[in-house]
Structure 1
Amino acid sequence: MAGDLRLCALDLDGTLIDSQHHIVAAMAAAFRAEGLPPPSPAMVREIVGLPLDHAIHRLAPQVRGLQLERVGQAYRDAYFDAKDADSAAEPLMPGARAALDALEADGWLLAVVTGKGRRGLHEVLEAHGLIERFVVLKSADDGPGKPDPTLLLDAVREAGSSTARAVMVGDTVFDMGMARRARVPGIAVTWGYHDLALLETERPAAVIGRFEELAEAAGRLVPA
């Protein structure tokens, strides 16, 4: 019955895949291209998940207008140049594939809701042979960025689920803030880019430290 289907929506960077190396390097290259001091890796990890223009502005509030556009384009160019030069795909987080198997075995539909652009999202999922596992893919190209709830609500609707039958899994306060605004239970993971103290400021419904815990945590929040 429509609306009864359970949906597990997952963030990408820092949740499903460990992409910090490429993101940090590309941001540093983009800032250097504009003669700006590059942000530290810790600062970049804090903004992973935001729309690119918001992320850059948070790292350098003085960057606006055309310069903001140039930094954004330089970031995209550097990111995909680095990926083209590196034949190895950004690695899956430990236990990710088995967790997806366990969720599907329990009858969950799967979605990705990410701040990454559509090209990067599709490329990394295809590289790992995972793209067919997800019934909905939502990227930065599909609507307002996190923590705005639009992408998550659209994913729930397109999957034929409901906010009462869905969960959102992510590693940042932007993911948990989006889930809270959408009235979808948020499952915070502690292996990503925001620490537990920061994640708890958005009051997640559950917190897990290993992917092996995901199916059980999701099942407690939304029973079959």
Structure 2
Amino acid sequence: MRLVIFDVDGTLVDSQADILAAMAEAFAAVGERAPARADVLGIVGLSLDVAMQRLAPAADHGRMVAAYKDAYVALRAQTGAAQSSPLYPGAQEMLERLGAEPDVLLGVATGKSRRGLDKLLEAHGLDGVFVTQQVADFHPSKPNPSMLYQAMAEVGASKAQTVMIGDTSFDMEMAAAAGVPGFGVSWGYHPVKALHAAHTVADDFAALETALARHWRVGV
């Protein structure tokens, strides 16, 4: 058995437009100016409460989180999750190929809420693809390894059978903390130089599949 766990935002889907817009609303709700784009994308992957604390240490974080969630839902309702958070080119085909392998299980470990992930999977027709789904509602924020421990426990996978795929330093640090290889992707929200804890970094989905195949064949 092989367990492949994916981050979502910046790895499988490009949701930065809605993230930036919702964050602007969150800051407006507390009378603050929104931070720069790079600063906002730098906290993607963290749970919202932790992200707000980093971006605005002295603000009313509860109010900001509520405003962000309301804005995100409204933005998604305007265009639909499939358009507001589109899959990166090649993502769906890669998931289909991996999912067709009889000894591969797919999972998700995301800073999204349960509601947010459900809406996204439904919009992209990915219901039933991920056998284990870990969300921010029930875990400490990344890079705490809680999500990965729970995912492995749910499917009975060992650390040697598991990999984590993500675009941020938080994903790679979470993988390292859990004792599993972290496979970084270069097309997401953190620069490649921030993925120093990664086992390897792929530049596209084809390269990612090749790296996974090599990893399973050779081991670490």
TM-score w.r.t. the length of structure 1 is 0.92
SS at match of 1:98: helix
Q: How many residues matched?
A: 215
- Displacement after TM superposition at 1:213 (Å): 1.9
User: Structure 2: how far apart are the matches of 1:88 and 1:165?
Assistant: 32
SS at match of 1:109: strand
- Displacement after TM superposition at 1:218 (Å): 1.4
Per-residue CA deviation, residues 31-77 of structure 1 (Å, 9 max, x unaligned), is: 011101111221110000001011011111222xxx11011101111
Per-residue CA deviation, residues 105-145 of structure 1 (Å, 9 max, x unaligned), is: 34311001001111111100110001211101110012111
Instruction: Give the structure 2 partner of residue 80 of structure 1.
Output: 73
User: Structure 1: how far apart are the matches of 2:11 and 2:106?
Assistant: 14
- Is 1:30 aligned to residue 26 of structure 2? yes
User: Structure 2: how far apart are the matches of 1:11 and 1:215?
Assistant: 16
Instruction: Give the structure 1 partner of residue 63 of structure 2.
Output: 70
The one of 201, 208, 213 aligned to 1:219: 213
Instruction: Give the structure 2 partner of residue 150 of structure 1.
Output: 146
- Displacement after TM superposition at 1:187 (Å): 0.2
- Is 1:13 aligned to residue 9 of structure 2? yes
The one of 49, 55, 58 aligned to 1:53: 49
User: Structure 1: how far apart are the matches of 2:48 and 2:61?
Assistant: 10
- Displacement after TM superposition at 1:206 (Å): 1.2
- Is 1:163 aligned to residue 159 of structure 2? yes
Overall identity of the aligned pairs, in %: 48
User: Structure 2: how far apart are the matches of 1:84 and 1:180?
Assistant: 37
User: Structure 1: how far apart are the matches of 2:110 and 2:80?
Assistant: 23
- Is 1:100 aligned to residue 100 of structure 2? no
- Displacement after TM superposition at 1:87 (Å): 3.0
Per-residue CA deviation, residues 131-176 of structure 1 (Å, 9 max, x unaligned), is: 2111011100121110000101110111221111010000000000
TM-score w.r.t. the length of structure 2 is 0.94
Regions of 4+ moved over 6 Å:
none
- Is 1:210 aligned to residue 194 of structure 2? no
Matches within 5 A, 1:113-192: 113-192=109-188
Root-mean-square deviation (CA, aligned residues, Å) is 1.3
User: Structure 2: how far apart are the matches of 1:217 and 1:97?
Assistant: 18
- Displacement after TM superposition at 1:8 (Å): 0.2
- Displacement after TM superposition at 1:88 (Å): 5.3
